[in-house]
Structure 1
Amino acid sequence: MKAIVITTPGTPEALQLVEVPQPQIQNNTDILIRLHAAGINPIDTKLRSRGTFYPNEMPAILGCDGAGVVEAIGAAVKRFKVGDEVYFCAGGLGKSGTGNYAEFTVVDERWVARKPTSLSFAEAAAAPLVLITAWESLYDRGRLEAGQKVLIHAGAGGVGHVAIQLAKIKGAEVCTTVSSPEKARLARQLGADNTILYKQTDFVQAVLDWTEGEGVDLAFDTVGGKIFYDTVPAVRVYGDLVTILEPNPADGNLKTARSRNLRISLEIMLTPALQGIVAAQLHQTEILEQCASWIDEGKLKIHLSQSFTLQDAPAAHKVIESGSTTGKISLIVK
């Protein structure tokens, strides 16, 4: 089969289109999926440039997100049959025999959900990682409740644009930071109650004005760096601050967060897969199943801004690394 592989970490040009053996069903609960599209996420570019989690298993096929059609099933598979359309976040972290920048992949049926019928394969492939990340950040880490006020950074980005919608589904009021009027319009279309052009406006003061000086109940940091520390004064006393990036002590300190008794949570949706935590992986499958229902009910949208052919994976990585993308990007496999 055709696949994009890396044999050593490097620039986007390290991604090479080659012929590799088609993966085979190894376990009774495995399903073979003919991929139609693969989602591209920032984790892909980091693994390509820095190395995978399994450096001794090179070459590697990247891509955590995928969507396609079930081609074959293991003897004990009960949830799917040949011909079913599916989407999932599994593999692509460097482990041999996994990855979705390819024509086929094998995934345990427990980590797979039925594809939303209203989405194209390209749209569906763009969805899983960001849906799970936003859900876990807002609902699980942040314990979001109806009526609360939420600040979501980068509301037009991959994670941010679904986070806005999940927060609204929960019944929260949403404020978000964006870099341009065009992105502000998208954020409002997705349900944001207040948009802040952070290049022109002090977002902390804007949040305090919006909350009558109190601060938001929950802030969701999808940007990292200094923004994490700058966000602290925008959160109410005893509020929550959730980040998907690792805070760097060189960018600030937590004195103000401590004085405000903030609850700080770190979110990495890859933890269950990397540590083999089955219950948490099953929870992520449930998230995809619920989100598929909401998508087909028109309550949740995936904004696919660009798609590339499989052989153009290097160009897609360059777009991701530019840091100015809106929504999500996919690779069209077939």
Structure 2
Amino acid sequence: MKGIVIKGDRQSPVLVWETVPGVKFGPDEVLVDVWATAVNRADLLQARGGYPPPAGASDILGLEMAGVIAAVGEDVEEWQVGDRVCALLPGGGYAEQVAVPAGMLIQLPDSWTFAMGTAVPEVWYTAYVNLFLEGDLVAGETVLIHAGASGVGTAAIQLANAADATVFVTAGSDEKLLACRKLGAELAINYKQDDFLARVLTATHEQGVDLILDPVGGGYLDRNVQALKRFGRLVNIGQLGGTQGEMNMGLVLGKRLRIIGSTLRSRSPAEKVKITEQFLSGFWPLLRSGELKPVIDTIFHISQAQAAHDYIMQNKNIGKVILVVREGADVPPDKLNDK
């Protein structure tokens, strides 16, 4: 089979689509023919040697995929060859085939393209876990979502709205701010032009927000702490702004704040299966019905993976960047025969 191989050095990795060893799958797994995968910031970090896969996981990039089951393990009863599925992965999505634990699979709706399916698992699970399981967001609260136009951000805006929370976001261009407002953000702040802390405090009459979802870290730490109201929660999910930051510990103690660090990839398979089950019973029906929608920015062919990474490095995307592995992955199922 073919897969993406990382060549070059850590400063200038080059992604090449070439022949790689085939995939083995266990008795409780299925083998999936990958039709589409997607680019995540973790892929960019891994390509530069900064985010190794969990022990035992494929060293091929790719944290999610959508495709068709090609074979099932002997202990798998609920899935069949030919089923259209998507799934979260610890790695291996940038390839023609991947092995997936059966408990991680989601059945694609009949009308969905594979591109739509692969735009869901990584970012929607990340948003769901960190808004609700880590951040304890409830109806009536206000959440500030940094990088609101990212894949996680566009999912988080919709999930928070569906939970009857008020959404504030930061983003870096007028186009991205408009996209966030269309998804339901009440306040959209251009972090390149305005101090998000001042805007948040003004909008909340100096009270602050209940929850902050932050992939930036670094220099945002102290302003995040100041922007939280009493009993507020800061969930940090990334380090785009660096690994070091300062904060006023007096505010943390005095306002009884919680600062939570969270990742998804390093969680155990059992925990990921549980997250999948919770998401399926919670918000997946709203995606199936079309009330919530995966946001897709651009689609590249898998052979253009390097260009797709460069595109995200330049912060151009609003929503997900998709990699098509098989022709027709971005075509509705009822139109595939017309191709």
TM surpasses 0.5: yes
- 1:263 equivalent to 2:278? Answer no
Aligned-pair CA distance for 1:9: 5.2
1:281 aligned partner, one-letter code: K
8 A Cα contact 2:83 2:107, kept in partner: yes
Tell me, in whole angstroms, the C-alpha distance in 2 between the residues paired with 1:45 and 1:10.
10
Gaps in structure 1 of 5+ consecutive residues: 93-98
Q: Is the 8 A contact 1:88 1:125 kept in 2?
A: yes
What is the 5 A alignment of 1:168-247? Answer: 168-245=161-238
Partners of 2:112 and 2:199 lie apart in 1 by: 36
- C-alpha displacement of 1:126: 2.2
Query: Does the aligned pair in 2 maintain the 1:5–1:60 contact within 8 Å?
Result: no
Distance in 1 (CA, whole Å) between partners of 2:316 and 2:42 is 16
Question: Shift of residue 288 of structure 1?
Answer: 4.7
Contact 2:7 2:13 (C-alpha < 8 Å) held by counterparts: no
CA distance in 1, matches of 2:215, 2:197: 16
Amino acid in structure 1 at the alignment position of 2:87: F
- Measured against aligned partners, the alpha-carbon deviations of 1:185-233 in whole angstroms (never above 9, x if no partner) come to 1111111122122222221121112212111111111222212322111
Q: Which amino acid aligns with 2:233?
A: D
| AA aligned opposite 1:332 | V
State the match for 2:17 in structure 1.
Answer: 17
Counterpart CA distance in 2 for 1:117 and 1:11 is 42
Q: CA, structure 1 residues 174+52, in 2 after alignment: closer, same or farther (shift >3 Å)?
A: closer
Amino acid at match of 2:286: W
The answer for the alignment partner of 2:331 in structure 1 is none
Match of 2:61 in 1: 62
- Within 5 Å, give how 1:227-306 maps onto structure 2: 227-245=220-238, 250-255=244-249, 256-272=251-267, 276=268, 278=270, 280-290=271-281, 291-306=283-298
**Change in CA separation of 1:140 and 1:61 when aligned onto 2, cut-off 3 Å:** same
Q: 1:58 to 1:167 in 2, by over 3 A?
A: closer
Partner-residue secondary structure (3-state), 1:182? helix
Shift of 1:53: 2.6
Say whether the 8 Å CA contact 1:132–1:287 is kept in structure 2.
no
Q: How many residues align?
A: 323
Aligned counterpart in structure 1 of residue 142 of structure 2, from 138, 141, 149: 149
C-alpha distance in 2 between matches for 1:130 and 1:299:
17
| Aligned partners of 1:244 and 1:266 also within 8 Å | yes
TM-superposed deviation, 1:56: 9.9
Distance 2:156 2:175 in 1: 18
**Which residue matches 1:103?**
96
CA RMSD of aligned residues (A): 2.3
**Structure 2 counterpart SS, 1:251:** coil
User: Which one-letter code corresponds to 1:262 in the other structure?
Assistant: L
Decide which of 120, 123, 126 is 2:119's aligned counterpart: 126
Q: Which amino acid aligns with 2:318?
A: T
Per the alignment, in what secondary structure is the counterpart of residue 147 of structure 2? coil
Structure 2 distance, partners of 1:277, 1:310, is 26
In structure 2, distance between residues paired with 1:284 and 1:8: 36
Q: Which moved more, 1:187-196 or 1:36-45?
A: 187-196
Taking structure 2 as the reference length, the TM-score comes to: 0.88
Identity of aligned residues (%): 35
Q: Which amino acid letter does the alignment assign opposite residue 224 of structure 1?
A: G
Q: TM-score, normalised by structure 1?
A: 0.89
Change (3 A) 1:12 1:166: farther
Contact 1:128–1:288 (Cα < 8 Å) also in 2? no
Aligned to 1:95: none
| Amino acid of the structure 1 residue aligned with 2:5 | V
CA distance 1:220–1:60, shift in 2 (3 Å): closer
Q: How far is 1:104 from its partner? A: 0.9
> In structure 2, what is the equivalent of residue 32 of structure 1?
31
Deviation, 1:57, is 8.6
Alpha carbons of structure 1 residues 12 and 132: separation in structure 2 relative to 1, 3 Å: farther
- CA contact 2:66–2:118 (8 Å) conserved in 1: yes
Q: Secondary structure at the match of 2:179?
A: helix
CA apart distance, 1:238: 1.6
Deviations 1:120-169 (A, max 9, x none): 21122122111111111110111011111111112111111110111111
Is contact 2:35-2:68 (8 Å) kept? yes
